[in-house]
Amino acid sequence: MSELLKRLGAIAAVLFALAAPNLSAQQEDAFVGLWELWVESGYEYRPAYGTLAIESGAGGLEIYIDGGPVNLIELDGNRISFDMDWVDLPDQPHLSVLVGVLESGSIHGTVTEDGEDRGAWRATRLARPDSPPSPNPVDLTGIWGEPDYIGKGVFDLTEAGRTADAAYDETMDDPILRCVSDGMIRMSHGPFDIEVLDVNNRIIILYEDMHEIRRVYLDRGFPDDIENMDLSMGYSIGHWEGSTFVIETRGLKRGVWDAPGMPISSNAVFTERWYLDDDGRLHIEFSMDDPVNYHRPGLMHQVRVKQPEDTEIPAYSCDPHPFYRGLYLEGRLEEHWGRSSNRL
C-alpha cells in the first residue's frame, strides 16, 4: 500500500515541478511554522485533526502532515496547495488535495479527492508554553467513543525502516489475525471505545480492543531495566502540565503502527498529551520517536467523545481458526511457520 501512495504522491510532485512559479523568500516565510490542521471530512468522513509542519528546505518549502512528508503542488502569493495521503478504516489508500489561502494568521480552504469535494480545512498556528504550567488535574474518567483522526499513510522511513516495512507481510504477520495483542500504539487509535479509571496513584485505561489493560503510574519513574522489558502495552508514567495529562511510554516490544505494517522498534518512545476542549471532547496528541525506523517523529491527533454514563465496554470476540484454516487451504501454512522471525 505504501508504494501505491508514494506513486500517487509522485504524480503531484511532478505537476508542481512543471507549474510552480519562482517563489520569494518572503512568500515562503509567511507559511513556515507548526500548525494545527483540521479537516471537515477526514478518517471515516468525520471531522479530524492533525499536525501540519511547513519548513524551509534547500529546494524550497517542505511540508509534513503528522510527521509524514506530503507534496507541495503550488504556492502563489498567499495561496497554497498540497496533497495528503491517508488510509481509511479498511486500510485502503487515498490521496486528497488541499487548496487554501493564508489570511489573518490562519490558512483555510477546501479539500478534494479525484475532483470531488471533501469539505473544508483550516490550519491555525500551534504555540507551546516555554515552561509547563502548574498541575491542575481534570476528570478524564469515563468511556470514550472510537477516535476520529486523519490517518496519514506514508512516513519518512530510514533504511532500517524500509527494510522492516518490505519484510512485513500483512497476510501472514499481522498479530490480530492470530488474536494476539496488536500493541499499545496501534491499539490506541483502533476503532474501539476505551474506559478511563482514576485509581489512587495511577490512571487505568481499559481497551475494548483485545480487552487489554494499561496502567499509567503517577508516583514513580521508569524501572532500571526498561529498555529490555519488551511489553506489548509498554510501561507508562504520567504527570499533569496544567489541565493536560502527559504520558510517556517505553519498554515496548517490536510491533507495527497499522495493519499494512509501518514498523515500531523496541526503542520507540511514545508520548501522549490528553486534554479536554470547551465542548468536553477528549483530545489525545501522540508523538512516536523511533529513530531506528523514522527520520522524524510520527504524530497523530485524535478526538474522542464521552459516552453516556450507562455505556458498557462490550465483549471482544476473536477466533484465529479462520486465519489458520485459510492458510492450510491455500497451502501456505508451512510458509507461515517459517516466518517466525517476522512474527509480532
- Give pLDDT, residue 10: 55
- Give pLDDT, residue 189: 86
- Give pLDDT, residue 4: 54
| pLDDT tens per residue, range 173-222 | 999 999 999 899 888 888 899 999 999 899 999 999 999 999 999 999 99
- Give pLDDT, residue 3: 58
**Of 139-148, 200-209, 226-235, 254-263, which range is least confident?**
254-263
| pLDDT tens per residue, range 102-152 | 999 999 999 999 989 999 999 999 887 778 899 999 999 999 999 998 889
- Give pLDDT, residue 18: 47
- Give pLDDT, residue 77: 92
How much is the pTM?
0.88
- Give pLDDT, residue 122: 97
**HEC secondary structure over the chain:** CHHHHHHHHHHHHHHHHHHCCCCCHHHHHHHCEEEEEEECCCHHHCCEEEEEEEEEECCEEEEEECCEEECEEEEECCEEEEEEEEECCCCCEEEEEEEEEEECCEEEEEEEECCEEEEEEEEEECCCCCCCCCCCCCCCCEEECCCECCCECCCCECHHHHHHHHHCCCCCCCHHHHCCCCCHHHHCCCCCCEEEEEECCEEEEEECHHHCEEEEECCCCCCCCHHHCCECCCEEEEEEECCEEEEEEECECCEECCCCCCEECCCCEEEEEEEECCCCCEEEEEEEECCCCECCCEEEEEEECECCCCCCCCCCCCCCHHHHHHHHHHCCHHHHHCCCCCCC
| pLDDT tens per residue, range 7-18 | 555 555 554 444
**Of 1-15, 101-115, 234-248, 330-344, which range is least confident?**
1-15
| pLDDT tens per residue, range 79-96 | 999 999 998 777 788 899
| pLDDT tens per residue, range 53-69 | 999 988 889 999 999 99
- Give pLDDT, residue 15: 47
What domains are there in the chain, each with its CATH number?
Answer: 2-125 (2.40.128.120), 142-309 (2.40.128.20)
Q: Work out the mean pLDDT of the chain and round it to a whole number.
A: 90
